[in-house]
Amino acid sequence: MNVYIPIAVMFILLLLEFPVAFSIFVSTMTYFLFFSYLPLMMVVQRIAEGLSSYALLAIPFFIMAGIFMNHSGISRRLLSFSSLLTGHMAGGLAQVNIVLSTLMGGLSGSNLADAAMNAKLIVPFMLKKGYSKGFSAAVTAASSLITPIIPPGIALILFGYINNVSIGRLFLAGVMPGVMMCVLMMLLVSRIAKKRGYLPEREKRASMKEIAFGLKDAAIAFTLPIIIIVGIRFGVFTPTEAGAIAVLFSVIIGAFVYRTMNLRKFQMGLVESVLASANVLVIIAVSYGFSKFLTWEQLPQNIAAFIAANVHSQTLFLILVNFILIILGMFIEGNAILIVLSPLLVAAAKVMGIDLVHFGIIVILNCAIGTLTPPLGTVMFTTCTIVKVQVTEFIREVLPFWLMLVVSLILVTFIPQISLFLPNLVFGQ
C-alpha cells in the first residue's frame, strides 16, 4: 500500500500535464511525508546524490557535440554524401532521409533532435519533388528511431548508468541493429516508391570517383564515432571523457577546418546545449529519490520474484517485456520509462539469465517505437508539427514503417547475436 499511493499521485499529475520531473518529485515527497520517518531534507539530498555520477556527464557532452556539429556544417555535408550514396534508388530523397538518420546517429544520439533536423532539412525538398506530406513525415519520424541505438545514443548511456551495464559494450551493441533497421527501411521505401512512382533523385548511380570525393568531405564526421569507440576500448578515455573530446573535436572542426564557427554561434550553441540537456538531467536527479523508496519498499525485488515464480522460460519473459513496453511506450515518454521502469525489468532479466547488454538494446528499441505512436508519441508530434500534417494522415502512412520496426524488434529480441556479436568481438566475452 505504501508504494501505490505515491505512484498513483505521480500518474495523476502526469495526466494533468504537470512537468514530468515535478510529478516524480511530488510523488517522492508524498512517500517521505506520509509513509516514512526520515527527515524531509533527505529528499533534496537524494536529488544531489542523483547527480553525483561522472557517467551522467556524458549526456550533456554528447548533446552538446551534436549541436556544435550542426552549427559547424557537418550535417549539411553528410546530407550531400547520403544523396551520392542513395540518390539513384527509387524514392531517392526518402532513401537519403533514412541514410542521413543512420549517419547522424553517430553524432546527435537523440531521435527527437534527428526527427526535427530531417523534417526541416529534407522534407521541404521531398514536398517539392511531389512526395506526399504524410509519407515524408512518416519516413522522417520512422528513420529517426535508428539514432538512439547508434553510438553514442543518449538512451544507451542512460540505460548503462542506471543499470550498471558497460556503456562501451552498449555503444557497440547498437551498431548492427541500427544498420539492420536502416537496410530494412530502405527496402520498404523502395517498394512504396516504385508503387507510387516517386522518382530517383539522381539520373544514374554516382561513380566511385564521385563517392570518393564526397567521402573526403564527410570523412571528418565518420572519424568521430571511430575515435570514441577506439578511445574507450583502449582505455584512453571513459565514455564521459569521450563526450568532452567529441565537443572539443566539433568545435575545432567548426572553427578551423570548415570555418563556420564564431563566438556568437558558440554562445548560442552553449545555451542550446543547456536547454536540450536540462530536462533529462532534472528528471534523473529527482528519480534517484523515487527509485530509492521503491527499493526500500522492495518493489523491484517483488516484481522480479513474481516473474521468476510465474514465468519459466526466457522466451516467454522477453515476449512479455516487449508487450508491456510497447503498450506503456504509447503512454509514457521514453526517458521516463528508461529511468523509472528499466531497473525493475533488469532485476527480473538478471534472474532469468539474460545478457544485460542485449536486454538494454531491446528496452531502448521498445522505448523508441513508443515515440512513434499516439497518444503520446513525442517524435510523432514533433514531426507532424514541423511538417504541418494531420496526425491521422501521418498514422496511415507510418503504419508499414511501424510494422517493419516491430519485425526488427522481434529479430533483435530473439537473435541475441545481432546485438552481442560486435561487443563480444571487440571487448571479448
Q: Is 262 in the site for other proteins (CB under 8 A)?
A: no
Q: Is 14 in the site for other proteins (CB under 8 A)?
A: yes
Min. distance of Cβ 390 from other proteins in angstroms?
Answer: 14
* 369 class by beta-carbon count within 10 Å (0-12 exposed, 13-18 middle, 19+ buried): buried
Q: 252, 331, 271: which is closest to 63 by C-alpha?
A: 271
Q: Is 283 in the site for other proteins (CB under 8 A)?
A: yes
Min. distance of Cβ 246 from other proteins in angstroms?
Answer: 10
- Nearest-angstrom CA–CA distance, 305 and 363: 20
Q: Is 326 in the site for other proteins (CB under 8 A)?
A: no
Min. distance of Cβ 363 from other proteins in angstroms?
Answer: 20
- Nearest-angstrom CA–CA distance, 93 and 83: 7
Q: Which of 86/373 has CB closer to other proteins?
A: 373
Min. distance of Cβ 48 from other proteins in angstroms?
Answer: 6
Pick from 70, 277, 291, 342: which binds other proteins (CB under 8 A)?
277
Using CB under 8 A, which of the segments 58-66, 73-81, 311-319, 412-420 binds other proteins?
58-66
Question: Long-range pairs for 23-30 at CB < 8 Å and ≥24 separation?
Answer: 24/283, 24/286, 24/287, 24/290, 24/340, 25/286, 25/289, 27/290, 28/286, 28/289, 28/290, 28/293, 30/5, 30/6
For 348-411, list the strands marked E by DSSP: none
* 132 class by beta-carbon count within 10 Å (0-12 exposed, 13-18 middle, 19+ buried): middle
Q: Which of 42/179 has CB closer to other proteins?
A: 42
Using CB under 8 A, which of the segments 22-30, 116-124, 181-189, 190-198 binds other proteins?
22-30
Q: Which of 257/275 has CB closer to other proteins?
A: 275
Pick from 2, 8, 15, 196: which binds other proteins (CB under 8 A)?
15
And the C-alpha cell for 380?
510523432
Using CB under 8 A, which of the segments 49-57, 80-88, 97-105, 289-297 binds other proteins?
49-57
Q: Is 26 in the site for other proteins (CB under 8 A)?
A: yes
- Nearest-angstrom CA–CA distance, 97 and 85: 12
Q: How far is CA 333 from the centre of its chain?
A: 12
Q: Is 103 in the site for other proteins (CB under 8 A)?
A: no
Distances 101 to 9, 60, 112, 141 between C-alpha atoms, Å: 38, 20, 11, 10
Using CB under 8 A, which of the segments 181-189, 211-219, 268-276, 298-306 binds other proteins?
268-276
The one-letter amino acid at 378:
T
φ/ψ (deg, to 5) at 92: -45, -55
Distances 113 to 183, 186, 211 between C-alpha atoms, Å: 22, 21, 27
User: How many Cα atoms occupy the beta-carbon half-sphere of 178 within 13 Å?
Assistant: 31
Pick from 245, 321, 341, 363: which binds other proteins (CB under 8 A)?
245
Number of chain positions touching other proteins (CB under 8 A): 57
Min. distance of Cβ 10 from other proteins in angstroms?
Answer: 12
And the C-alpha cell for 140?
522522417
Min. distance of Cβ 193 from other proteins in angstroms?
Answer: 33
Min. distance of Cβ 115 from other proteins in angstroms?
Answer: 16
- Nearest-angstrom CA–CA distance, 429 and 424: 5
Pick from 278, 316, 327, 399: which binds other proteins (CB under 8 A)?
278
| SS3 call for 390 | coil
Q: Is 155 in the site for other proteins (CB under 8 A)?
A: no
Q: Which 110-129 positions form the footprint of other proteins (CB under 8 A)?
A: none
Pick from 8, 38, 236, 316: which binds other proteins (CB under 8 A)?
236
Q: Is 275 in the site for other proteins (CB under 8 A)?
A: yes
Residues of this chain that bind other proteins (CB under 8 A): 13-22, 25-26, 29, 40-41, 43-45, 47-48, 51-54, 56-57, 60-61, 64, 236-237, 240-241, 243-245, 247-248, 267-268, 270-271, 273-275, 277-279, 281-283, 285, 332-333, 375-376, 381
